[in-house]
Amino acid sequence: MATDDQGHEGSDVWEDFQQGYVPEDNLDIHPDLDLHEQYTKDIDTVTYEVLRHRLWTVNEEHGQTLENVSGSPVAYFGQDFNPTLMTHDGEVVFNGPYVQLFSPIAELQVKWILENRSDNPGIEPGDIFISNDPWVGSTHQPDVFFVAPIFVDGELFCWIANTLHQYDIGGKSAGSFVPGASDVFEESTPIPPIKAVEGGEVRKDVKQMYQRHSRMPDMVGLDFNAQVAGLQVTQEQIHDLIDEYGAQTVKGVMDRIIEDSETKFLEKIRELPDGTWRAREFMEGSKTGDDDLYVAELQLKKEGDTLTFTNEGSAKNEGSMNLTYAGFRTAISCAVNPMLLYDQLWVTSGAYRHIDIDTDPGTLNRAEYPSGVSCGGTLSIELSIALIYDVMTRMFSASDETRDEIITDPLAGLIVLSQAGMDQWGNPFGTMNLDVMGTGFGARTDKDGIDVGGILFSPKGKLPNIENNEQDYPMLYLYRRESEDSAGHGEFRGGGGMDSCFIPHNTEAIQTVVAGNGGVTPNTRGIGAYPGAPIRSRTVDGSDIEERFENQEIPGDIEEVDGDMETYPPKAEFVQGAIDVMETRSPGTAGYGDPLERDPEKVLEDLKEEIVSEEAANDIYGVVFDDDDERTVDEQATEDRREELIETRLAESTIPAEE
């Protein structure tokens, strides 16, 4: 660790790169950097609300600029980006409404830049830093952060940042998910924060170095321009606000936004008793070809106003499945935002003031360098979010003030499908299939989840139309449908997942990489109910699909197609040949409450909508239908069947404490 002549050391950079950057409460910032720390508390309510929503709008427009300038489907369909507005010392003022987990993590980027770039090369007006280092503050390497300071009268006033998932940023697999990686050296090389724009001028050397990482430098170059444009538009808008209201007032509003979030968070958790809540889930395979099961454990201890997360019992980091400290930290926001701070415009920084993370380094949910982390931003983070939901929803169950806020865990699994090859025009293509967005949305304490409701932490994330995918890629869809029996059964059932079925079109083959988790057991379990269905990918190889097309027949179910059916493990690589039919299933979410307490009429409705099968209706819900054309509920037979199921439950059980 270097010490300069003014006593500035920064953080221990090489320890950060090894274990993950954990900022101290007091940052070590070079004294030559002047911070704008003054603000006024004398702000009337109307001015506060006007400015609060102006700041929100400025931040959201930041995201719209990204979307408009970027040419990437990941941006305009997947909305796989987010803008962030932060104070001078990196506390988040506003998350954008896109992939929200990109925002709390931007805080780590800013704090690291303040500690380690404030002396050399320095932080100046018009600068932009880029970074995708998961050990500093990224979920995985494809999520690239562009971070800019805003100065007022020579003082650092605030920070803005945006994060955009890149099409390809290098590594041995196209798309930069490398589920087969043994360590980070097989993945894209992490870039710690470096200055890419200096005094408003793009550094060509840095931009070329960055583009040189990618198989698709033109696309990455377009996104580079989009990310710079987003920041520069936002810089102008923040300066306009300061000119209109004054720096002290704008800063005062920022401070109050965070204080309000802290107050709301404390009001809610103070209703809860102290205690410890625990969760355990599994990761299937650390990398492609690995068929072992890895355990992930989480403990949440509430003591007064403090929540502490530990991960005692979690497996060691191996393969490509791992998540760094930064990823785990930001995952917490995915539970706090929608369940506790929705009325605070999702401002989580007030909550983070009362959250401690004491996880063990060298584990799958706190990975040490050089373990593989390229799948961390999709698989381990989703597993961590599920664990966090598991413990937090159980904690929220212990108070009337928080119980109704429960949403059963939204991410039962994730199936990331990377496809590459030659497209229908003879050009190379590569993509992450965004059918992944078609996951179920969790149940509430008084209502069902939403079928194919989308990914909870990405409120504006869209599922592309089939026609969009067919236009952009050499694919022909046979169907998409809500997946039967994928919704977790319960008094209030979870949201069901989605089946997608397609074949290659006007191409010989599609190279396919499945990077998934939650395929054997889902990662979520709801409360007092059944889990949602796991992810699934399967093909019928050498199918008779061409003959069916000649007969003007489009199958409505992959099981109708003749050929060799193969069901894949959650992590797999294979080639989908020209007549191989492939189907993927996005997961459903868990339910809330005992399915034997569900209104039988709702079960009938689900049966008619093909959300629930007759088998599940009878064996899990205990609902019996009259054998007539109208399919009505037989009330007496249902009552009898439910009594029979309860007797069976008890007859087949033992009491562990008495064993």
Partner 1 sequence: MQIQKYLDLNEEELTISCRKCGETLCNADENYKEHSAMRTGPVTDAGPAFEPPKKLLGQDPNLEFRQFFCPSCGVLFDHEFAREDDPILHDIEVDVDSIKA
Residues forming contacts to partner 1 in the complex (CB under 8 A) are: 273-282, 284-285, 291-293, 295, 303, 390-391, 394, 397-398, 400, 403, 445, 483-486, 489, 519-521, 525, 527-531, 533-534, 536, 567-570, 585, 588, 592-597, 613, 615-616, 620, 646-647, 649-650, 652-657
Q: Which of 540, 536, 538 is nearest to 580 (CA)?
A: 540
Give SS3 for 388.
helix
- State the nearest-atom distance from the C-beta of 523 to partner 1, in Å: 10
The nearer residue to partner 1, 40 or 521, going by C-beta atoms, is 521
What distance in Å separates the CA atoms of residue 622 and residue 619, rounded to the nearest whole number?
6
- State the nearest-atom distance from the C-beta of 475 to partner 1, in Å: 25
Q: Using an 8 Å Cβ cutoff, are 625 and 607 in contact?
A: yes
- State the nearest-atom distance from the C-beta of 464 to partner 1, in Å: 25
- State the nearest-atom distance from the C-beta of 627 to partner 1, in Å: 21
The nearer residue to partner 1, 155 or 619, going by C-beta atoms, is 619
- State the nearest-atom distance from the C-beta of 657 to partner 1, in Å: 4
Q: In this structure, which amino acid lies at residue 521?
A: T
What distance in Å separates the CA atoms of residue 455 and residue 636, rounded to the nearest whole number?
40
The nearer residue to partner 1, 504 or 519, going by C-beta atoms, is 519
The nearer residue to partner 1, 83 or 449, going by C-beta atoms, is 449
The nearer residue to partner 1, 195 or 585, going by C-beta atoms, is 585
Buried b (16+ CB within 10 A) or exposed e, 141-174: bbbbbbbbbbbbeeebbbbbbbbbbbbbbbbebb
Q: Is 655 left (phi over 0), alpha (psi -120 to 50) or beta?
A: beta
What distance in Å separates the CA atoms of residue 73 and residue 484, rounded to the nearest whole number?
29
Burial of 409 (0-12, 13-18, 19+ CB in 10 A): buried
- Please tell me what DSSP assigns to residue 146: E
The nearer residue to partner 1, 76 or 282, going by C-beta atoms, is 282
- State the nearest-atom distance from the C-beta of 73 to partner 1, in Å: 30
The nearer residue to partner 1, 310 or 445, going by C-beta atoms, is 445
Q: In this structure, which amino acid lies at residue 633?
A: V
**581: β partners:** 540
Q: Which of 468, 296, 487, 267 is nearest to 391 (CA)?
A: 296
Q: Using an 8 Å Cβ cutoff, are 278 and 248 in contact?
A: no
The nearer residue to partner 1, 69 or 266, going by C-beta atoms, is 266
- State the nearest-atom distance from the C-beta of 486 to partner 1, in Å: 6
- State the nearest-atom distance from the C-beta of 612 to partner 1, in Å: 9
What distance in Å separates the CA atoms of residue 529 and residue 542, rounded to the nearest whole number?
40
Give SS3 for 338.
helix
The nearer residue to partner 1, 554 or 646, going by C-beta atoms, is 646
What is the separation, in whole angstroms, between the first and last Cα of the chain? 58
- State the nearest-atom distance from the C-beta of 555 to partner 1, in Å: 20
